Structure 1
Amino acid sequence: MAKLLMIQGTSSNCGKSLIVNALCRIAKNRGIKVAPFKAQNMSLQSFVTEDGGEIGLAQAIQAEAAGVVPNVHMNPVLLKPSGQQGIQIVVQGKLYKTLNSQEFHRENKKLWDVVKYSIDCLLKKHDFLIIEGAGSPAEINLLDRDIVNMAVAEYLKAPVILVGDIDRGGVFASLYGTVKLLEKYDNLFKGFIINKFRGYVEILLPGIKKLEELINKPCLGVVPYLGETGISDEDGVSMTLTNFVTQKVDAPIKIVVVRLRYISNFNDFEPLRFEPDIELIYSLRKEDLLTADIIIIPGSKKTFEDLKLLKELKIDETLRKLAKNGVEIIGICGGLQMLGEKLVDPYMVESSLREFDGIGLLPVETVFYPEKITTQVEGYLCSEPSIKITGYEIHKGITHGPLGLFKITRTSIKQILFDGIVCENVWGTYIHGVFESDSLRRWLINRHRVKKGLSPIDYSFSWKKLKESFIDNLANTIEKNLNINRVWEIAGL
């Protein structure tokens, strides 16, 4: 029978995902057939599996850490906030419904049945399941609707380790309060971890000892504040993203990613920020746009709303002027749609507006349909076929026009077609993850190096190897700071 361990937290963003990542890699390194699981995830950062299912990006990264192929059962319920329209519900990889909060809670029983089915599927294929909770399990007003925290722990009789974030303050109170508010589950809580600590652990020891006495649970480790892990954040509206600027000395190329209100899949740009000759900024400030070499409009969960924002801020006018002056402008997914001439929404999929003018820098028109396209792709740059790309599509709109930037294969259905369009120094594509191609990044950056009178660089790093090193470094740090043997004992290993 598969062994189980659940990582819950006293709040959102306390480090659950990273700790699950690390534990998955540690287990893999010990030869254990391990898989991650999160019953319900709320995120605008998503990933497409080999069979075309959409799951939270965090679970895809955790699967990578575990050395297994991501599948829809690792995150059977994905919630994607959609503004005033409510919440888009993705169930076992496929779009289910878009509901408001009251309607969503009425789906609770159906979703719980889905969660249990996915758990059973994973248990049949893996020897060890590391389960991540969501937010705080102590939302006592919602306990009867829970399908992701204590409901999962109780269903599986899974031991729970509770993570507290000391960086936001009140860690002892939050750990104590969580356990005490959930006293009926006391037998499932097996210990706690203090995360994001800055300073000398000795200072914490009196508090740790007192808390251990009060809740009768051991402290399993104190994890230092990690800062840069290289592993993408789940939260697309986090302060990390809002204030993010790469600090590099003498980086000659400046890229500005337009910080949309409903930005999605901003992990697309992670490889760019590690390039040695790139300064990467997320911004809506005109001052930043005016000094950029490359401007990228990213994906959006609410394309019409974000396009409306750009027009209200007159960023569309700025982009048109900069394009005439030779600045390279790129649109990814929703960004591609915005750069076109017109967006048409006959079924009111995205907005109450049936039609909206785009920025007008690409000769294309996008029509939105209720069905969502989700597929992995592979292909090459048409102008330079030696530049190979892989990635995935997640979109409802279909864009019409003289497409031909990339020739791709939608791998789940073996469909061959052209994607994207280039018009002088403006181009766009539906492919998320396109910048993970080492050769494409260099193709992009080197054109601007040459433009500035600098020599091109043939190679800087392998993104695939760098990602692996990030996961290994995280796992090594967590292993050094946890009583890992005690953790494995709790899991029954």
Structure 2
Amino acid sequence: MSKKIMFQGTGSSVGKSIIVAAVCRILNNQGVVVAPFKSQNMSLNSFITEDGKEMGRAQVVQAEAARVNPMVEMNPILLKPTSDIGSQVILNGEVFKNMEAMKYFSAKDYLIPHIKVAFEKLESLFETIVIEGAGSPAEINLRSRDIVNMGLAEIVDTDVILIGDVDKGGVFASLYGTFLLLSKEEQKRVKGFLINKFRGDVSLLMSGVEMLEELIDRPCLGVIPFIQDLKVDDEDSVTDRFTAKSNNAIKVGVVKLPYMSNFTDFTVFDLEKDVNLEYITEPLALETCDLIVIPGSKNTIHDMRYVSESGMNQAIYRAHRKGTPIIGICGGYQILGQTIEDTFGVESKEIKINGLGLLDVHTTMSEEKTTRQASGNVLSNFFNIELEGMKLSGYEIHMGITSHLSDSVRPFMSTDKNEHDGGISADGSVLGTYFHGIFDNDNFRHTVLNNIRTKKGFKTSDESVDFEELKDSEYNRLAKHVEAHINMPLLLKILNESRG
């Protein structure tokens, strides 16, 4: 059986995902064949595997750090919120059903066998599995239905390391309180703790570390300093990207929809030194954008209503009249059209809504979800940018089928499925596509940005950043940072003595 270790946190956003990614890369650098695992993830950031299965983006990051291909078994349950109390449940990479929270919790007995099968598949393929919990294991009101923290630790019989976030304040109380709220049997699984996101002089913290070690009779495996400007995808519930701004010369504005999905489509802009990526919440902020992007959505009708009621629609129309290029991705493509219809109530209780009308297309929500990796050749130029014939790759995740209503909209791409994808308006200034990850194509991003640079009178860039190479170097930077501050001999000792 595989060796295994689980990282649980005192709460959300303490850095579990990043620590797991770092440990995966550290172990891989040591020659270990390692894989990540998280039984249940709640996120609107997802990815499509080579075999067309949908999984949480955090486990994709961890798989990349481990230098292995993402597999849906690494995240067998993905919850994609569709309302304040309900989510679309993705089970083993496919849509299971939409469920409200109470109904989902009652499905524990049905879900556990699927978790076991997924984990056993990983055990058959990998030497070591690094497991991530969710939220806090001390949510005593949810313990009887837990399948992602101590409940999961029991299912797969693993030891646990607790992570506390010193940046939030109260790290000793959160670690101590979490430990005390665990049952005696659960406490036995805890082999140590980590303190994450430290800033300042670590010597000032050490007396507290020593007292906590004595109080809970568990060792501290390290104090990890805060790492600056890490260019790695993060989770939608904890990111600080939405408030980040800069004074860079080119402003790419992403309309921040309430149910925005896959904002990882835009992480790549962090690599462009002269680009300011801003998530727009005020209509007036669209006036200074050089490129406007309407992102994906998990509830397109709800988000279209937001666009109308917030005044974003009028700001987008003004930008369009001014000549600002506009790109819609997936749900954003649907929002650019004339109408969106959800007869089956797939995403919304509202049956039909008018879109922005910038593309002459109509979308009907279907009961079948399209999930696939795909590639295509560009058929039409966008914004007078020479793109025709360019090869692009990405992945599709959508419930809708979008039809062109007239010849005024031209297909954007011819795909490897012998289909057309997306559309471009007659004047060439509005583009819609179902391809997530389109900006990850270095040639596409480089060409579009250079066109904007030229129009603004700036020097064009001769070199396009290789996104895949930079991501790999960031995983190495993360691993080096964590390895320098974690007691790896002790962690390896815990792994070698693990219950596997």
TM class, shorter-chain normalised? over 0.9
The 5 A counterparts of 1:48-197 are 48-83=48-83, 86-182=86-182, 183-197=184-198
Match in the other structure for 2:453: 449
Whether 2:437 is the aligned partner of 1:433: answer yes
Deviations 1:12-48 (A, max 9, x none): 1000000000010011111111000000011111111
After TM superposition, give the deviation of residue 123 of structure 1 in Å: 0.3
Which residue pairs with 2:418 in the alignment?
A: 416
- Over residues 437-466 of structure 1, what are the superposed CA-to-partner deviations in whole Å (9 max), with x where a residue is unaligned? 110001111111222233432323111111
Counterpart of 1:327 in structure 2 is 324
Aligned to 1:32: 32
Partner of 2:368: 371
Shift of residue 179 of structure 1?
1.2
Inter-partner Cα distance in structure 2 for 1:390 and 1:279: 24
Structure 2 residue 228 is the aligned partner of structure 1 residue 227:
yes
Aligned counterparts of 2:469 and 2:379: Cα–Cα separation in 1: 26
Which residue number in structure 2 is paired with residue 405 of structure 1?
412
Look up the match of 2:260. Answer: 263
In 1, Cα distance between the equivalents of 2:129 and 2:230? 23
Q: Distance in 2 between matches of 1:80 and 1:39?
A: 14
CA distance in 1, matches of 2:358, 2:204: 58
Could you tell me how far apart the structure 2 residues matched to 1:192 and 1:449 are? 49
Q: Give the secondary-structure state (helix, strand or coil) at the position aligned to 1:118.
A: helix
CA deviations on 1:366-407 (whole Å, 9 max, x unpaired) are 000111111111223224355322211111011101552122
Cα 1:365–1:85 change in 2 (3 A) is farther
**SS of structure 2 residue aligned to 1:70:** coil
Q: Which amino acid aligns with 2:7?
A: I
Distance 2:273 2:462 in 1: 13
Kept in 2: contact 1:54–1:374 (CA 8 A): yes
Residues 231 and 270 in structure 2, CA contact (< 8 A), matched pair in contact too: no
Q: Matched residues in 1 for 2:18 and 2:139: separation?
A: 22
Aligned equivalents of 2:339 and 2:119: distance in 1? 44
CA distance in 2, matches of 1:333, 1:393: 8
SS at match of 1:83: coil
**Structure 2 match to 1:464:** 468
Report SS of the residue matched to 2:414.
strand
Contact in 1 for aligned 2:116/2:156 (Cα 8 Å): no
For 1:473, give the aligned amino acid: R
Q: Does structure 1 residue 396 correspond to structure 2 residue 399?
A: yes
* AA partner of residue 329 (structure 1): I
For residues 297-308 of structure 1, what are the structure 2 equivalents within 5 Å?
A: 297-308=294-305
Deviation at 1:416, TM superposition (A): 2.4
The amino acid of 1:196's aligned partner reads K
Q: Are the equivalent residues in 2 in contact too, given 1:85–1:98 (CA < 8 A)?
A: no
**Structure 1 residue identity aligned to 2:196:** N
CA deviation map 1:328-387 (0-9, x unaligned): 111011100000011111112122222110000011110001111111112232243553
Amino acid aligned to 2:286: L
Per-residue Cα deviation, 1:414-453 (whole angstroms, up to 9, x for no partner) = x221111111211111111111111000111111122223
Q: Which residue of 2 aligns with 1:311?
A: 308
Distance (whole Å) between structure 2 residues aligned to residue 213 and residue 474 of structure 1: 30
Match of 1:412 in 2: none
**Deviations 1:249-298 (Å, cap 9, x if unpaired)?**
xx332111111111110010011232122111111212310111111111
Deviations 1:76-106 (A, max 9, x none): 0101111157111000000001011111112
**Match 1:354 to one of 336, 351, 356:** 351
> 1 CA distance for matches of 2:443 and 2:239?
31
User: What root-mean-square deviation, in Å, do the aligned CA atoms of Structure 1 and Structure 2 show?
Assistant: 1.4
Distance change >3 Å, CA 80–CA 274, structure 1 → 2: same
Deviates more, 1:379-388 or 1:297-306: 379-388
1:284-332 deviations in Å (ceiling 9; x for gaps):
2123101111111111111111110110112112212211210011101
Alignment partners' CA distance in 2, 1:53 and 1:283: 31
Q: Is residue 301–residue 352 contact of structure 2 (8 Å, CA) maintained in 1?
A: no
Give the conservation status (yes or no) of the 8 Å contact 2:337–2:361.
yes
Q: Distance in 1 between matches of 2:174 and 2:162?
A: 10
Q: Aligned equivalents of 2:447 and 2:289: distance in 1?
A: 18
| 1:34–1:130 CA contact under 8 A, matched in 2 | yes
Match of 1:20 in 2: 20
Q: Distance in 2 between matches of 1:58 and 1:285?
A: 29
Q: Give the Cα–Cα distance (whole angstroms) in 1 for the partners of residues 175 and 410 of structure 2.
A: 54
> Is contact 1:403–1:419 with CA below 8 Å preserved after alignment?
no
Unaligned 5+ runs, structure 2: 381-386
* Secondary structure at the counterpart of residue 164 of structure 2: strand
- In 1, the alpha carbon distance for the partners of 2:49 and 2:418 equals 18
Distance 1:387 1:471 in 2: 29
Q: Distance in 2 between matches of 1:341 and 1:26?
A: 50
What secondary structure, in the 3-state scheme, does the structure 2 residue paired with 1:190 have? Answer: strand
Determine helix, strand or coil for the equivalent of 1:416.
coil
Shift of 1:227: 3.3
Distance 1:81 1:315, change over 3 A: same
2:216 equivalent in structure 1: 215
Q: Which residue of 2 aligns with 1:291?
A: 288
Residues 1:345 and 2:342 aligned together: yes
Q: Distance in 2 between matches of 1:17 and 1:84?
A: 24
Q: Distance in 2 between matches of 1:25 and 1:213?
A: 31
AA matched with 1:208 = V
Q: 1:85 to 1:176 in 2, by over 3 A?
A: closer
Q: Which moved more, 1:10-19 or 1:441-450?
A: 441-450
- Structure 1 unaligned blocks of 5 or more: 410-414
Question: Tell me, what secondary structure is at the counterpart of 1:141?
Answer: coil
Instruction: Check the 8 A contact 1:268/1:432 in 2, yes or no.
Output: yes
